[in-house]
Amino acid sequence: MPVTVRIPTPLQQLSSGKSEVVCSAGSIAGLLEALELEHPGMKERLTEGGKVRRFINIYVNGADIRTLGAETTELKDGDTVAIIAAIAGGGEITFS
């Protein structure tokens, strides 16, 4: 099942500079395998011990997979999957 995957900027070095790729997979776990086949190194950056790393957020059509079925979340033809790396840090924020 072809799905569109949005690749975050830090991982675009693995996707030949592409911000979006198309993969065929029936689940998030299958998608991670497909991404690894097409773009070696992607899976190790997104997963640890077979689970999506805690600082990586994956959304299917705008819904967080952690509220769906995590890695077993099913995908269907035409879905859009967004991979987003959590960002932390920075300076103190002061409100006036």
For the beta sheet containing 2-6, the strands, ordered from the edge strand earlier in sequence to the opposite edge, are 20-24, 2-6, 80-85, 56-60, 63-64
- How many domains does the structure of the chain reveal? 1
Residue 90 has pLDDT above 80, yes or no: no
The answer to whether residues 58 and 81 touch, using CB atoms and an 8 Å cutoff, is yes
Containing domain of residue 66, as a range? 2-85
> Quick check: is 91 in a domain?
no
Average pLDDT, integer, range 78-85: 95
Q: Is the dihedral of CA 75, 80, 81, 86 positive or negative?
A: negative
Q: Is residue 27 part of a domain?
A: yes
User: How far apart are alpha carbons 68 and 89 in whole angstroms?
Assistant: 28
Structure tokens that stand for 56 in this block = 């990586």
pLDDT in tens, 8-67: 999 999 999 999 999 999 999 999 999 999 999 999 999 999 899 989 999 999 999 999
Instruction: Please indicate, yes or no, if residue 7 is contained in any of the structural domains.
Output: yes
pTM: 0.85
